[in-house]
Amino acid sequence: MKIFPKIGICLLLAGSLNLQAQTEGIITYEETHKLDIQLGEGTSLPDDFADLMPKQFTSQKDLLFNSTEAIYVDRKDNENQDFEMESDDGSFKMVIMSDESESILYQNFAEKTEVNQQGIMSKNFLIESDITKSKWRITPEKVKFQGYECQKAELEIEGKLTVAWFTPQIPVSIGPSGYHGLPGAILMVSEDDGKREIKALEINLKSLDKDAIKRPTKGKKVTQEAFDKIVKEREIEMSNMFQGRTRTR
């Protein structure tokens, strides 16, 4: 069963209601990745280090959407969050560098396809796939967030639980980082018990320029599996470079 055409109908049926304006706009989100730094055996750590080590990595993204498409991109003014620390005998050095390559996720709900442009270091890859239906579990819990009444929904992927809060007051089935398919725009997401959290910072419902949402075309076309393999190879390379007894997830 296909959800998206049905959304289209429901919205069209509500003809006299001017919902058009509420189905276009930009939502700015902040993504926070918790850093779970595991250190190799044998490194002695003063307690202060735990205090100072960054516990998370944040970035800001924009979700531009209209009634049939959505695109999730990096914001231009992301803070440089490189971080560096070294012990006095040089035995321990930690460097966290933000990978400055761009990532764009484009979704076309009419065609039910999505294109994910991802970069590793300076090389871009295009991963195309079909939009699959998500099996959301909706609960009656409600909260108020950013002035909207939000309801809770849960999704289970590969044993990991994702919690999302959506608002029917914005009647578009869109959300950050590719999440979709709920009876309203998703304003908050929490993955795997907070490993990654996404929260809407600013909600701007307004008409967009005709070409504001463009399908990405830069990069080498690969499948998701092929891409995952390349990422793993890179990780091993990096850890060898730094004689990694340290791994960050």
Partner 1 sequence: MKIFLTFIVSLWASYCIGQYKITGSVVDQNNQALTGATVVLIETSDSTMVEFCLTNNKGEFVLNDVSKGVYAIQLSFISFESQTVNLMTDWDEKDIQLDPFILKESSEVLKEIEVKAEHIPMGLRGDTISYNASAFKTRPNATAEDLLKKLPGIEVARDGSIKAMGKDVEQVLVDGKEFFGNDPKMATKNLPAEAIDKVEVYDKQNEVEAFTGIDDGQESQTIDLKLKEDHKNGGFGGLDIARGSENTYSAKANYMRFSPKVQASFLGASNNINNETFTINDYISFMGGIGNVMSGGNLNFSDYQPLQNGINESTSIGSNLNWDINAKVDINAHYLFNEVNNDIQSNNSITNLGEGFLFDQFTTSMNMRQNNSHKLSTKIKYKINPLTHVNFKNIISFSSRNSTNDAEVNYVLMNQNVGNSLSDFISDGDEFSFAHQTTLKRKSKKKGRNWISNFRLKKVTEDIFDNVFNSNQVQGQDILIDQNQYYKNELSQIGGDINFTEPLGSNFYLSLSYAYDRSYDRPFRNFFDLESGQEILNKSLSSDYERIYKYHVAGFNLKRNRKRLKINVGTKYQWTALYGSINDGEFKTDQLFTNILPYFNTNLKTKGRGSLDFTYNTNIIAPTLQQLLPLPNNTTPNFEFIGNPELVPQYDHRLSLGYNLFDNFSLTSLFANVRYTNSNNRIVYKNSINDQLFRRSTPVNTDKYEDINTYVSLSRPFRPLKLKYRLTINYRYADYNSFLNDLESPVKESSTNLKFSLRNKNTEHVYIETGVDWSRTNQQFEIADDLGQTFSSTNFFVDSDLYLPLGFTLTSKVNFNRFSSEGFNDQPNFILWNAAIKKLLLKDKLELRLEAFDILNQNIGYRRVPTATSIREESYNNLSQYFMFGLNYRIGNNKMDSGIQLDIQ
Contact residues: partner 1, CB under 8 A: 1, 3, 5-6, 9-17, 19, 30, 32, 46-49, 51-52, 54-56, 58, 80-90, 92, 135-138, 140, 142-145, 149, 151, 153, 163, 168-169, 171, 181-184, 188, 190, 194, 197, 199, 201
User: Residue 8 CB, nearest distance to partner 1 (Å)?
Assistant: 8
| Closer residue to partner 1 (CB): 139 or 224 | 139
Q: How far apart are CA 244 and CA 104, in angstroms?
A: 30
Minimum CB separation of residue 92 from partner 1 in Å reads 7
Least Cβ distance, residue 49 to partner 1 (angstroms): 7
Q: Minimum Å distance from CB 87 to partner 1?
A: 4
> Rounded distance, CA 116 to CA 128, Å?
6
Residue 5: in which H helix or E strand, if any? helix 3-13
Minimum distance of partner 1 from residue 48's CB (angstroms): 5
Rounded Cα distance between 73 and 66, Å, is 15
Please identify, using beta-carbon distances, which residue of 11 and 120 lies nearer to partner 1. Answer: 11
Please, what is the minimum distance in Å from the beta carbon of residue 140 to partner 1?
Answer: 4
